[in-house]
Structure 1
Amino acid sequence: MAEAAMKTAGTPPAVSSKTEGPLRETWHSFRRNKLAMIGLFIIVIFILLGALAPLIAPYSYKEPQLLDRLKPPSGDHWFGTDDVGRDIFTRVIYGARISLWVGFFSVIGSVIFGTLLGILAGYYGKWLDMAISRLFDILLAFPGMLLAIAIVAVLGPSLQNALVAIAIVNIPAYGRLVRAKVLSLKTEEFITAARSIGMKNSGILLHHILPNSLTPVIVQGTLGIATAIIEAAALGFLGLGAQPPQPEWGKMLSDSRQFIQTAPWTVIFPGASIMLTVLGFNLMGDGLRDALDPKMKN
């Protein structure tokens, strides 16, 4: 028995799976969601296609080849060619760069400014809350697409101005979300304890309020990328986004709409790219929401 006791005492305690960090736990929960993993796979594919476009693309995305005008899909041109002979597969994978760039950076801009304004409004309240909330109300009073069109019309049609317009339009969505979260957080006991030990407001905001407000913003931001891609495509379709010869998917649809019946491949592949990318972000966003929501965990 003494030997057994010694062996027992010398055996290190088993490490419980519950000691996993929050990031690993979130990843395990996310990975169990098959639809979320499909969404992630779709997004990774489009990111790789865009990043490796110069290596993958068989042709130039901007040089016209009039002799190859409106050729159907074949071994030489997998997605066919457009009305000036450019390879549609090449333009689609280069277009992934533009659409994802607009989606990511417009959402980053919206998240930064929306989170900042939402934290200030929710934490300090009073006249500052009233001013920021009225600003959000003014922006939300206009239909998002019409406001984006108006901003681009003032700034001038270009991809960069379309990105700015999309970012401005979506600021209230993140601002109001963060404001509501901050209003509930600032009454919590740990915030009261931080104040009681003399922690400054800047420290409370940086170390307590901001980290605890990020979960809904991450989920909304993932879903917001899909919305931003659609809005960028809409602006491009109207001629207010990317300008020729940039291969933006919405602009490709606009340029090909007159060939829907005679050359449907010119519309199908850019449209399918928009649909798949948006679907991927929506599936991944839903998976993140379920993984980060404690109520959804067993």
Structure 2
Amino acid sequence: MTTLTAKITAGKPESPWMEAWRRFRKNKLGLVGAGIVLFFILVALFAPLLAAEGINDQDFSNRLQAPSSEHWFGTDDFGRDILSRVIHGARISLWVGTFSVIGSVIVGCTLGIIAGYFGRWIDTIISRIFDIMLAFPSILLAIGIVAVLGPSLQNALIAIAIINIPTFGRLIRSRVLSVKEEEYITAAKALGMSHTRILVQHVLPNSLAPIIVQGTLAVATAIIEAAALGFLGLGAEPPNPEWGKMLSDAKMYMLQAPWMMVFPGIAIMLTVLGFNLMGDGLRDALDPKMKDV
């Protein structure tokens, strides 16, 4: 009986998600990216334990101190420990990047699914809205939105979420246009299934792969956009240790204290690199054309 069960199990087809995970594990760059992302997530989660000093503790007697055994990343113009601020800045950057993308996915996918599935005038209206939004450079549109709402971290998150809606909307729309022509969708309609049930049980699950990949890459873009808004003074307000704001504060001391700009810049670079590498790995793992021969 045991032998028979083992044979049956061995002959059982592998689930698509397990197959994708198996292919992802073979992608070394994808694993490196996932490791970098995991590292910064852990840094953000355990920031209070990792940061040796308070992020806003000022010590004017030690301002603009170079990196040393006491302050590994040096101090800024207020004598604050840069390492502690970079560590806590990971929380803000990951929070803005993750939740802005979640908002973009929810709104964009909802509009894209409606446009692709129902078509006709609904598709025309939604698609034209996407086209109008994409006609503006993303960062300029984000600046305009924050200028209307007012400079703050929450408004920067809202702006970043809004400018990424068309990307997910058009992506899911194109996928839905393909999926809804499949035979199992026709069969579901013939059986009398409601549109909502078809969308939730059939269309959406078969459209998740590109959304997961794009979502991972979009987090990297959102972190850069958040840093850009912070650099322009339209993001996190002082004394929040946001990486873009730290770069803005450091520009006056580029020659006198270059470490003020170097370490936040490296943190942004590594985080974005990690998400990009992981996104590329997920794309290869979830693409059916990349299956092993």
Alignment match, 2:3? 11
CA shift digits 1:143-179 (9 cap, x unpaired): 1000000000000000000000000000000000011
Q: Cα RMSD between the aligned structures?
A: 1.2
Work out which of the two has the higher radius of gyration on C-alpha atoms and give 1 or 2: 1
Whole-angstrom distance in 2 between the partners of 1:208 and 1:25: 20
Segment drifting more, 157-166 vs 194-203? 194-203
Q: Offset of 1:10 from its aligned partner?
A: 7.2
Residue 49 (structure 1) aligned with residue 47 (structure 2) = no
User: What is the letter of the counterpart of residue 280 of structure 1?
Assistant: G
User: What is the letter of the counterpart of residue 216 of structure 1?
Assistant: P
Alignment match, 2:268? 274
Alignment match, 1:6? none
Alignment match, 1:133? 127
Alignment match, 2:19? 25
Residue 294 (structure 1) aligned with residue 288 (structure 2) = yes
Whole-angstrom distance in 1 between the partners of 2:276 and 2:182: 32
Runs ≥4 in structure 1, deviation > 6 angstroms?
A: none
> How is 1:134-283 mapped onto 2 (pairs within 5 angstroms)?
134-283=128-277
CA shift digits 1:237-287 (9 cap, x unpaired): 000000000000000000001111111111100000000000000000000
Match of 2:278 among 272, 279, 284: 284
Segment drifting more, 246-255 vs 187-196? 187-196
Segment drifting more, 93-102 vs 19-28? 19-28
Match of 1:100 among 76, 94, 100: 94
User: What is the letter of the counterpart of residue 45 of structure 1?
Assistant: F
In structure 1, stretches of 5+ residues that fail to align are 1-8
CA shift digits 1:81-135 (9 cap, x unpaired): 0111000000001000000000000000000000000000001111111110111
The alignment of Structure 1 onto Structure 2 pairs a total of residues equal to: 290
Alignment match, 2:116? 122
3-state SS, counterpart of residue 270 of structure 1: helix
Q: Offset of 1:20 from its aligned partner?
A: 3.3
Residue 85 (structure 1) aligned with residue 91 (structure 2) = no
Q: Given the two structures, how large is their TM-score scaled by the length of structure 2? A: 0.97
State the identity as a percent. 65
CA shift digits 1:30-68 (9 cap, x unpaired): 111000000011011111111101111111101211111
